[in-house]
Amino acid sequence: MSLTTKFLGRTYASPIMNAAGIRCTTTVELDQLRQSSAGTFVTKTATLNPRSGNAGKRLAALPNGSINSMGLPNEGIDYYLDYLTNLPDHGHDAFLSVAGFSEGDQLAVLSKIAASDFAGIVELNLSCPNIVGHPQLAYDFEATDALLAKVFAQFGQLELGVKLPPFFDPVHFDQIAAVLNKYPIKYINSINSLGNGFFINPDTDAPMIEPKSGFGGIGGGYAKPTALANVRAMRERLRDDIAIIGTGGVQNGRDAYDLILCGASMVQVATLLGEEGIAAFDHLNAQLQTVLTAKGYPNAEAAVGQLVTNVKH
Ligand code: RRO
């Protein structure tokens, strides 16, 4: 049984990797990811200029997951492009996550990538929940359509995917899928954290985190059923040539397998990786291998989308 996975013409030793934002902000962290047993890695979402992010305590562990309002702290697009383009493969096997605060910003970040030697995959983060005054773009279907029209008109040569927020209604699944199906998107990544949740610290009766009066993105176990729903719903609606990365609530190999059954070709790990560090990949790879072997699959790819649809009582 091999975990070897093909994705966008690349071959990875495992389908499991970090999610953007988790242990991937500095070159030291990126080196650690490269040396780990993760199949590949994605950078922290990069903006045109470096950002220190939201002030105060901005990440907390919860009983079954996490809450964060980081506010997009990152070293800026030039830093990540410099790191990636100096790798032996010019970052061919890596993912570069990017975001902008306006259409102009987003396009400026992409022009920098297009003008560089970066040979990898670009992930447009349309779903950051934690920037004051900036709603998650993908919840505005018209604005998403308008941005993607410009992006693909100008940067059609880039290999582009999009990071989506969770959707909660079949009509919204239909609407976002209809927009995405219009463009030569290579993949979607579902889901980003459950935006603007709230959790009270029982010791203090105050919110767990400081920015935005305590509202923040929820990840970990709380996110798993919503992640499975989004991967499944999008697989049912997207063009076959649009691949899916599944993210949300992966705590063990079975969780990764469930996302794969719903249609994910790759699986990303956020909260668990934040808590456990890169040793999490060793455990998850071993556990995923055990599940796939027990279920009789020769490799991870063979299980993609193999959800059994007749409910057995
Ligand atoms: O930096 C953040 O606050 C953040 C981002 Br950009 C994101 O996409 N998802 C998230 O949970 N936090």
Provide the pLDDT for residue 231. Answer: 99
pLDDT in tens, 6-49: 999 999 999 999 999 999 999 999 999 999 999 999 999 999 99
- Each residue's pLDDT tens digit, 242-282: 999 999 999 999 999 999 999 999 999 999 999 999 999 99
Q: What's the gap in Å between 294 CA and the centre of ligand 1?
A: 36
Q: Is 70 in the pocket of ligand 1 (CB under 6 A)?
A: yes
| Model confidence pLDDT, tens digit, residues 67-112 | 999 999 999 999 999 999 999 999 999 999 999 999 999 999 999 9
Write down how long the chain is.
313
128, 190, 193, 262: the catalytic one is: 128
What atom of ligand 1 comes closest to residue 193's alpha carbon? 11
Joined tokens for residue 84? 């990636």
**pLDDT score for 132:** 83
Best CATH choice for the domain 5-54+72-196+222-303 from the list 3.20.20.70, 3.30.930.10, 3.40.50.620, 3.40.50.720: 3.20.20.70
Q: Please tell me if the CB atom of residue 192 comes closer than 6 angstroms to any atom of ligand 1.
A: yes
Q: Cβ(221) to ligand 1 under 6 A?
A: no
For 120-142, b/e burial (b = at least 16 CB within 10 A) is bbbbbbbbbbbbeeeebbbbeee
Question: Which residue has 């582009």 as its token pair?
Answer: 160
The CB of 256 under 6 Å from ligand 1? The reply is no
Q: Which residues have C-beta within 8 Å of that of residue 168, sequence separation ≥ 6?
A: 226
The pLDDT value recorded for residue 273 is 98
pTM: 0.98
* pLDDT, position 1: 86
